Structure 1
Amino acid sequence: MHLAKITVGQQSIAGLKSVNQDYCGSHSASDAQGRLKGQVLAMADGIGSSSVSQVASKAAVNSFLQDYYATSEAWSVETSAKRVLQSINAWLHGYTKQSEFRYDIEKGYVCTFSAVIFKERTAHIFHVGDARVYLLRKGVLEQLSNDHRQYAAQGQSYLSRALGMHSQLDIDYTSVALCQEDVFILCTDGVHEFLPPQDLLTSLSSIQTLTDPESIDPLAGALVQTALDNGSDDNLSLQLAYISELSQIQDKPITAGMLALPLPPILQVGEQMDGYRVLRSIHVSARSHVYLVEDEKTLEQWVLKTPSVDLSDSDDYLERFCLEEWIGRRIHNAHVLHVPPAEHPKQYIYCVAEYVEGQSLSQWLTDNPKPDLEVVRGIIEQVAKGLQAFHRLDMLHQDIRPENIMIDRKGTVKIIDFGSTTVAGLQEVGQGCGNSELLGTALYMAPEYFLGDVGTPRSDIFSLAVLAYHMLSGRFPYATHVAKTRTRAQQNRLIYQSVRDENSPVPAWLDATLAKALKVDPFKRYAELSEFIHDLRHPNADFVRLSKPPIMQRNPVAFWQGAACALLISNLYFIYLYLQ
């Protein structure tokens, strides 16, 4: 992994105006948080028609710099920034609606907004309004943002998009891979309209020779002064970010501490380790050892999981093992295995989770080979609620199957394994498995994984639909053929096999629901889990019409009576015409 060393400079002045309605700022967190959230530059520009837009500009930048770092570490940069900006937009718009400017939005709390977030070796650009973001690379200046300005007759123009202008926010997002000696420039229209690109290139040509990081502020100030000297009559703000170095980073920000620990020995009943006493062995496989343990202080029972010594040489396996605990601690849902906060300092690599007294869904299906449709619905709905908790945190489970689902004695269904889970925020720092790796179980995996494509929430929906299909029929929708495909042409030849048979209690509309969730093309599936779950219980009108047999099959007598009646009316009409 590479961590960019970034030097930042900025300048913001009122210019010829009495009030500076621009506002800009930057923030770089501590090393640990900086690796996970990155470094931020943000700039806002108030609109001239408003006497209070400087309040909006300052609030937008300060709120963004503060709230972005408070978002979940599991979220990607895009998810984190967009959620924060949507919240700021709603606040500004709502504040205007409650103010004296509610009938004239352009006089209210409105501003443009641009931000660049540097995380590892990628720059993430967010933009709405008519400020600009430029990239200077190897002597070439490129504009990375679009001006959201609508032009009318006689050279008149107005801002078409801004923070606080509408209840819904449409913000541009793009990302750029960093190169050493890149320069990013953020500037308001008071600068870019009066600073020709050639002047900007000339002024920045010496930035690579700067030896003192603090000397970049005077450079930003000089560019602002040039725009002012060129006749700018607006507020002027400019930020510079110079990528001086891309440093090589070897450690993993989340798992480095745990991976430095040794593997624990195979534990025996009665043995103690880090404050836990082993009660019994629950499960042993080639991948892990699972024990029922008791906390010696609280006497609470937990499950303690240790990695298999056979895989001790696999760095990828150990990293995924260590991440399971981190993932579990961030999901708080009744249908996901609970992972408690650390109560004891660790001397070995292991993870602790709640003890679910019950049986796996795999064993349950063995005991109940032909479950009732309503029971299947209930189980699938509970699994879906657990999956939604993953998706809200920008996580994909990627391995929904009966062995990874537990049903406790009260009938509560829980997802228990996170070994194949991808976390968008961690992938951006090279942490965890890539979501194109084949880590799931072939019979339940979405087709796109076998093409090397990245997974999406629709991939988890496919796996959940396979589970529902299998519970209802004991079969799989495409048999074993999905895992054999490696091209899109091969997948296009796959044919969905109906879940219904001659004696099936499954209605045709529900079969159509499963067929949609199990489409080979992910863009033809349900977009949201909630839509799929709703249609499992409530007949979709489109599917009912498609599955409804023609009237000739449903009631042949009524069909022929209707046909005879129509023929009689037709004959009477022709007789009438003949007699006229």
Structure 2
Amino acid sequence: MTARLTLSIGQHTDAGRKAVNQDFHGSCVPREPQLSVKGAALAVADGIGSSDVSHIASETAVSAFLEDYYCTSDAWSVKTSVERVLAATNSWLYAQTQQGQGRYDKDRGYVCTLSAMVIKSNTAHLFHVGDTRISRVHAGADSCALEPLTTDHRVWVSPGQSYLARALGVDVHLEIDYRTVTVQPGDLFLLASDGVHEYVSAADVGEALSAGGDLNEAARLLVARALANGSDDNLTVQLVRVETLQAHDAGELLQQMAELPFPPQFEPRSEFDGYRIMRALHGSSRSHIYLALDVASGASVAIKAPSIDLRDDPAYLERFLMEEWIARRIVSPHVIEPVVHEGRRSYVYLVTEYIEGVTLAQWLRDRGKPDLDAVRGIVAQVAKGLRAFHRLEMLHQDIRPENVMIDRTGTAKIIDFGSASVAGVREMAPAPSGEQFTLAGAALFAAPEYFLGEAGTVRSDVFSLGVLTYHMLTGQLPYGVRVPQAQSRAAQRKLVYAPAREHDPSIPAWVDAAIEKAVHPDPSKRYEDVDEFVFDLHQPNRAFLARTSPPLIERSPVAFWKGVSFVLLVALVIDLALRR
């Protein structure tokens, strides 16, 4: 049986010598599949004593974090999910502060500090703002040491006077410290408010762990020790020990489907699972696609079956199974739609809508070279599909003419997610340190960084979209076949862009410049987003106009010849003057 993430958690809080406890804490260890996809979450928040509503801020911060984090997209990374949740929480707290006494005095507003942790796969993701603290406990048989993992955001004016430099609810903008640490079974972490961590030592922690029957008792003993040592603040402690880690297998998420057998090569009129095969649409060494009829609804669908020749390739099977997982999460008219199969499955396969049309590759062969407006229209639609991927922290990584369908209405749809990368899934099975990224898509449209063994970014999809645009306009590739051969930075610096205008002088210079920027070998010099590229394809970028302005003789022949005549006149006058 595959190992699961299991944790032991102990926690305790007390108002201490104060009348009201303004601390708040919580933890959530969800059931599968959320435990594998999102991990386990813990948080401690600490209100400020000068505010009568600070306890509301603390409770809101922790509750919103633990509830809303698990409502974010499964495809998002932990960092993106938590930062968006905390940003929304901060906005709400700040708005409440602005409506009350805190508008004029932030120390009386809805303000709190927060330290949060998400443990997913073999990584602990830490988020911190304020003076609560997260530490790793190194407890041995005879000694104990505390390794601080967060930095207090407190500025000391004098030995007895300080103020918070950062907190939730203080400003409309929130700056959060984020870091990750690799965890191992047996690792122990301590989350504490300043009423505890300022009043207990590593030796105190060691004694509490030794004396306590469990982590809850150890947490209670730490709070008692902080009180005995003179703490005059609220006191909160969370202790979390990693017992076992989830096995590094992203395919665990799809285990039930993966246990199904590979389908045979279907014949026309054969039936299974409520579908009737009509005919084969496409076949390759990697997959077979069939037109089928949903017998119950009468709708035409496309069924994609994996190649039986690759049944022993776990990486291929994982990518194939992930296609449906990805398709179910993307909603865009420019991305192929999945057909959800609710009944029992007999085989491994993927069902999608049937698109009556042709691939972009076939469309180009049938029509010949399209005009600029037609290219712009298709590129804009593909960009909208890519944006749907990027919003979910996914990369398609295989944009090429064969992976874009054009239906009878002229709508472009991205198909085939076999090479797609999902940030949230990558975190479930992190690559070993030093391991290089392996390109899964086609090489000729792939970004140069893939051939250096680097993982892709949004700019990598921008590169592929730029190559697609160039290919549609010229029938060629901007660097020929040299990109896959350039497998060092030095070789990539030698790549020279072949202007599209050399193949078709009717292409505006500013359009050519936009494509050149999109396909630059250095990712930092490309567009950050597909929308920026599409905009520059439609609207002349002033920077490109200044750089690519045609010569004066083309822009204004009369002005050019007037200038030449004036220069000749000046030269003649000077010559006559010298002869005298």
Same fold (TM over 0.5): yes
Partner of 1:216: 215
What corresponds to 1:182 in structure 2?
187
Cα distance in 2, alignment partners of residues 562 and 551 from structure 1 = 15
Q: Offset of 1:100 from its aligned partner?
A: 4.4
Distance 1:536 1:105, change over 3 A: farther
Rounded to whole Å, the distance in 2 between the matches of 1:559 and 1:151 is 70
5 Å-filtered alignment, 1:77-476, equals: 77-137=78-138, 139-152=144-157, 156-204=161-209, 206=210, 215-246=214-245, 248=247, 252-430=251-429, 436-476=437-477
Which residue matches 1:44? Answer: 45
Q: 1:153–1:276: structure 2 CA closer, same or farther, 3 Å change rule?
A: same
Amino acid at match of 2:111: V
Once the two structures are TM-superposed, the CA of residue 62 in structure 1 deviates from its matched residue by 0.8
Deviation for aligned residue 1:3: 3.8
User: Structure 2: how far apart are the matches of 1:76 and 1:141?
Assistant: 29
Q: How far is 1:137 from its partner?
A: 3.5
Q: Which residue of 2 aligns with 1:575?
A: none
Instruction: Tell me the residue number matched to 1:572.
Output: none
Task: Work out whether residues 5 and 35 of structure 2, in 8 Å CA contact, stay in contact via their aligned partners in 1.
Answer: no
Return the TM-score normalized by structure 2: 0.91
Deviation at 1:361, TM superposition (A): 0.2
**Greater mean deviation of Cα atoms: 97-106 or 472-481:** 97-106
- Check the 8 A contact 1:4/1:120 in 2, yes or no: yes
Aligned-residue sequence identity (percent) comes to 48
| Letter matched to residue 141 of structure 1 | L
Greater shift, 323-332 or 492-501, is seen at: 492-501
Q: CA deviation at 1:371?
A: 1.0
Q: Is the 8 A contact 2:323 2:418 kept in 1?
A: yes
- Alpha-carbon distance between aligned partners in 1 of 2:159 and 2:244, rounded to the nearest angstrom: 48
Q: Deviations over 1:349-398 (max 9, x none)?
A: 11100000011100011122321111111101100100111111111110
| Cα distance in 1 between the residues matched to 2:54 and 2:393 | 34
Native 8 Å contact 2:126 2:180 kept in 1: yes
- 8 Å Cα contact 2:250/2:429 also seen in 1: no
Shift of 1:500: 1.3
Report the Cα offset of residue 202 of structure 1: 4.8
Q: Is the 8 A contact 2:121 2:246 kept in 1?
A: no
Which residue identity lines up with residue 91 of structure 2 in the other structure? A
| Shift of residue 150, structure 1, vs aligned partner | 3.1
In the aligned structure 2, how far is the partner of 1:88 from the partner of 1:563? 69
TM superposition shift of 1:168: 1.9
The CA deviation at 1:221 is 1.2
- SS of structure 2 residue aligned to 1:136: strand
Give the 3 Å change call, closer, same or farther, for CA 192–414 of structure 1 in structure 2: same
The Cα offsets for residues 509-563 of structure 1, whole Å up to 9 and x where unpaired, read as 2222112211212122111222222111111122211112465875434555887
Change (3 A) 1:497 1:226: same
1:21 aligns with 2:22: yes
Unpaired runs of 5+ residues, structure 2, are: 572-580
From the superposition, tell whether residues 249 and 556 of structure 1 become closer, same or farther in structure 2 (CA, over 3 Å).
closer
Q: Aligned partner of 2:180: which letter?
A: S
142-151 or 286-295, which moves further after superposition? 142-151
The answer to whether 1:65 aligns with 2:66 is: yes
Structure 1 residues 151 and 341 mapped into 2: Cα distance closer, same or farther (>3 Å)? Answer: same
Query: What SS is found at the alignment partner of 1:375?
Result: helix
Contact (CA 8 Å) 1:224, 1:238: kept in 2 or not? yes
**1:99 corresponds to which letter in structure 2?**
G
Q: Structure 1 residue 198: deviation in Å?
A: 4.1
Aligned partners of 2:160 and 2:97: how far apart in 1?
29
Letter in 1 for 2:495: L
**In structure 1, distance between residues paired with 2:570 and 2:242:** 81
Residues 445 and 123 of structure 1: CA distance in aligned 2, closer, same or farther (over 3 Å): same
Aligned-residue RMSD, C-alpha? 2.5
Name the SS for the 2:33 alignment partner: helix
Q: 5+ unaligned residues in a row in structure 1: which ranges? A: 568-580
The alpha carbon displacement at 1:307 in A equals 1.0
- The one-letter code matched in structure 1 to 2:68 is D
Please say which of residues 245-254 and 106-115 is displaced more in the overlay.
Answer: 245-254
Cα distance in 2, alignment partners of residues 246 and 360 from structure 1: 44
- CA contact 1:15–1:234 (8 Å) conserved in 2: yes
1:91-135 per-position Cα deviation (integer Å, ceiling 9, x unaligned): 111222233433333321111111111112111101111111111
Q: Which amino acid aligns with 2:187?
A: D
Distance in 1 between the 2:147 and 2:565 partners? Answer: 74
Cα 1:532–1:157 change in 2 (3 A) is farther
CA distance in structure 1 between the aligned counterparts of 2:236 and 2:61, rounded to whole angstroms = 15
Deviation per CA, 1:21-66: give whole Å up to 9, x if none. Answer: 1100001101321111111111111122221011011011011111
Q: Distance in 2 between matches of 1:495 and 1:86?
A: 43
- How far apart in 2 are the matches of 1:432 and 1:483? 23
CA contact (8 A) 1:422 1:435 kept: no
SS at match of 2:152: coil
CA contact (8 A) 2:288 2:305 kept: yes
Distance change >3 Å, CA 25–CA 561, structure 1 → 2: farther
Give the partner amino acid of 2:61.
A
Q: How far apart are the structure 1 equivalents of 2:570 and 2:175? A: 56
SS of equivalent residue, structure 2 residue 95: helix
Which amino acid in 2 is paired with 1:466? V
Question: How far apart, in 1, do the equivalents of 2:199 and 2:64 lie?
Answer: 30
- Superimposed CA distance per residue, residues 170-198 of structure 1 (whole angstroms, 9 cap, x where no aligned partner): 11111111122211111111112222344
CA contact (8 A) 1:3 1:121 kept: no
- Return closer, same or farther for 1:387/1:275 CA change in 2, 3 Å cut-off: same
Aligned counterparts of 1:55 and 1:290: Cα–Cα separation in 2:
56
Distance 2:190 2:66 in 1: 18
